[in-house]
Amino acid sequence: MKTHVFDEDIIVYCKKATSFPEGVKQAFQYMHGLVEFDPARMQIGWSEIVSEDEMNYWAGSQEIVDGEFGKHGLETKTIQAGKYFYIPVTGYMQNIPAIGQAFGELSQNANVADKNTGLEWYVSMEEVWCMMKAAD
């Protein structure tokens, strides 16, 4: 398990998936239809556990050109500044269950602030960082 620090809050524009996990691909396709993958742009998945049987999920992108998402009526999420624990998953497209396993491991950490909220940061086309905020 590694750590990463965000020095400031980051606002991301998001499309909520109609369901989890079935609607996740469509939410990402929608976002990718608005902007192409760019390593300078933070691309994320945001998940919130609602109950044992329900999860809400958003696909999101950071603006790198002011106003580029404003006209699309998207929700926003704020990645709070601070320390995050993360587990990198390489080759995630060939092993999607590894993402869930990483979050399972992260949620066992007693120093996680919120065990019901996860952040996936797609740092490249091959690697995703599965992240949870550390308690202050």
Q: For 1-36, write each residue's pLDDT tens digit.
A: 999 999 999 999 999 999 998 999 999 999 999 987
Q: For 42-101, write each residue's pLDDT tens digit.
A: 999 999 999 988 999 999 999 998 888 988 999 999 999 999 999 999 999 899 999 999
Q: What is the pLDDT of residue 125?
A: 87
Are 27 and 43 spatial neighbours (Cβ–Cβ below 8 Å)?
A: no
Are 44 and 17 spatial neighbours (Cβ–Cβ below 8 Å)?
A: no
pTM of the model: 0.93
Distances in Å between the alpha carbon of 122 and those of 41, 135, 136? 10, 23, 25
**Average pLDDT rounded to a whole number, residues 114-126:** 94
* Domains, the chain: 2-133 (3.20.80.10)
Alpha carbon distance 48, 90 (integer Å): 23
